Structure 1
Amino acid sequence: MSAQVHVLASGSTGNATYVALGGAKVLVDAGISARRIQKGLESIGVAVSELDAVVLTHEHRDHVLGLGTLTRRHGVPVYARPAAWQAMKGKDKMEASCCRELPERLHIGGVDIHTFPISHDAADPVGFNFFHHDVKCSVATDLGFATETVVRALAYSDILVLEANHDVNMLEGGSYPWHLKQRILSNRGHLSNDAAAWLLAKLPKKKQTEVFLAHLSQENNRPQLALETVETILRSQSVGDEENNIRLLLTYPDQMTSL
């Protein structure tokens, strides 16, 4: 498979995922500093100037923090939904010529990039599918819940970056104020470990699927807990055998995770 996916960082403090497929080099979100993005890309032999585009899932700070420097210093084109541009804070710090409207379908370097709507408390949040020949890579984080549209969009992915944000018991018993707990648990909040597992269990899958568990909460989750929860539910549904194999990888806010 000729795809590379490197999650440079994932979590409430910042998100950025590098996808290289076909002739395209694309960053999904830029929610960490441009310096961290540059260092992360250089560690895998890629210069920021080689990026064809940044595509944005939505306008929240942990997905857009590095855009000002990326556009001013490097001239990287950035694609976002019109409503996201309108709602985005700090757009005035970006190079205006780099700010572009994200259509439902985008073609870059021989790769087809399709958006699909997700449920989150943002202006017009989306997930992404990347297609090149018979390879499909998908990114779906910041999901309040997995709609049937999301299930159809993620079906038969070779590589999937999927949110497993919190453990419900940790969140409910944790220190967050009640209004924030309600937001996270709502249909426009974030996907729990259990919800991520059940989504994976019901997805139509290829024989081999690589899954990054992403956007883990640092206060309301633990990497090993997320992994064990998802694995346990998948085993209970007989997912993960030789005919339907899923390989799970954990992502972190302060380090890169690669296939």
Structure 2
Amino acid sequence: MQVVVLASGSKGNAVMVEMDEVKILIDAGISATRIRKGLASFGIEPEELSGILITHEHRDHIAGLTTLSKWYHLPIFARRGTLAALSCAVTVPRELLHPVAGDFVLEGLKVESFATSHDAAESVGWRIGGSEQFVLATDLGFVTSNVQQALEGADILVLEANYDPDMLQDGSYPWPLKRRIMSNRGHLANADAAWALARLKDRPGQVVLAHLSEENNRPEMVEETVRKILHRQGIDLPLSVARQTEPLVLSTENVMYQCS
């Protein structure tokens, strides 16, 4: 399995998963041009994608969706509530929209959506299974029991670690926005991500800490916080941090690098 995090953060999110010769894009929150160029840098053409999975309708997850759908006519999969909200945000050919309720099979891979607690119409995380298991869980107000269960046994896990509470409290955001971020329908703090990892019974092979706030977090801070909590629990996990502008590539063949 290969995972390419093209971008992750408040300015846009897009992740490509390749497993068993099937390629799937999760979210299209950056421009279609950037997605095309990012994939091309790894020898992948957008036409090779079997579909696009959407977590929710916020702009940092769908900004490039209209253009991408016009260029490549890729099927788009999301919960019904998300698709209904999409119609207010983007113009996508109706025949490309595929509502999902439970599990479905895409080119031989089992695709599962699981509900997440976020201030969107019907926000979800995604689990993709074939010869290996991939899980993405971002935009979490908190880790519910069903999210915690969905994280189990991933070979590669992309998990939100959005903010440091002290940085958020002392930062320049207006109080209503701070309150939204800290709420149960906002985002996940660094320490909360660490404790979600610590609670796992079937630990992941690799973890990507993702969706970092540019204003209220730092890559070195999130890694230090998570490692410290895990170390205290006697847990050692391979960790990497996804960035907004530098693609991150992971492989279950233990190859991991960032590209400028």
Q: TM-score range by the shorter chain?
A: over 0.9
- What secondary structure, in the 3-state scheme, does the structure 2 residue paired with 1:165 have? coil
- What secondary structure, in the 3-state scheme, does the structure 1 residue paired with 2:229 have? helix
Q: Distance in 2 between matches of 1:100 and 1:115?
A: 13
1:250 matched residue in structure 2: 241
1:94 partner letter: V
Q: Distance in 1 between matches of 2:95 and 2:146?
A: 33
Q: Distance in 2 between matches of 1:66 and 1:99?
A: 15
Q: Distance in 2 between matches of 1:139 and 1:24?
A: 17
Residues 1-259 of structure 1 mapped to structure 2, 5 A cutoff: 3-88=1-86, 89-91=88-90, 93-133=91-131, 135-206=132-203, 209-240=205-236, 246-259=237-250
Q: Which moved more, 1:112-121 or 1:101-110?
A: 101-110
- What secondary structure, in the 3-state scheme, does the structure 2 residue paired with 1:150 have? helix
2:244 partner letter: P
Segments of structure 2 that go 5 or more residues without pairing to the other structure are 251-260
| Preserved CA contact (<8 Å) 1:23 1:109 | no
Give, in angstroms, the shift of residue 122 of structure 1: 0.5
Q: Distance in 2 between matches of 1:21 and 1:212?
A: 17
2:74 partner letter: V
1:90 partner letter: A
1:44 partner letter: F
2:168 partner letter: L
Give, in angstroms, the shift of residue 22 of structure 1: 1.5
| Preserved CA contact (<8 Å) 1:59 1:87 | yes
Q: Which moved more, 1:106-115 or 1:136-145?
A: 106-115
- The CA RMSD over aligned residues, in Å, is 1.0
Give, in angstroms, the shift of residue 103 of structure 1: 3.1
Segments of structure 1 that go 5 or more residues without pairing to the other structure are 241-245
Q: Distance in 1 between matches of 2:189 and 2:110?
A: 30
1:243 matched residue in structure 2: none
What TM-score do you get using the length of structure 2 for normalisation?
0.93
| Preserved CA contact (<8 Å) 1:5 1:19 | yes
Q: Distance in 1 between matches of 2:78 and 2:103?
A: 12
Give, in angstroms, the shift of residue 121 of structure 1: 0.4
- What secondary structure, in the 3-state scheme, does the structure 1 residue paired with 2:68 have? helix
Q: What whole-Å deviation, never above 9, does each CA across 1:35-55 have from its counterpart, x for those lacking one?
A: 010011001110011110000
> After TM superposition, what 4+ stretches of structure 1 lie above 4 angstroms from structure 2?
none
% identity of equivalent residues = 46
| Preserved CA contact (<8 Å) 2:80 2:101 | no
Q: Distance in 2 between matches of 1:193 and 1:160?
A: 15
2:188 partner letter: L
Q: What whole-Å deviation, never above 9, does each CA across 1:185-221 have from its counterpart, x for those lacking one?
A: 0000000000000110111224x62111000000000
1:192 partner letter: A
What TM-score do you get using the length of structure 1 for normalisation?
0.94
Q: Distance in 2 between matches of 1:223 and 1:212?
A: 11
| Preserved CA contact (<8 Å) 2:57 2:82 | yes
1:12 partner letter: S
Q: Distance in 2 between matches of 1:168 and 1:221?
A: 9
Q: Distance in 2 between matches of 1:72 and 1:97?
A: 12
Q: Which moved more, 1:193-202 or 1:16-25?
A: 16-25
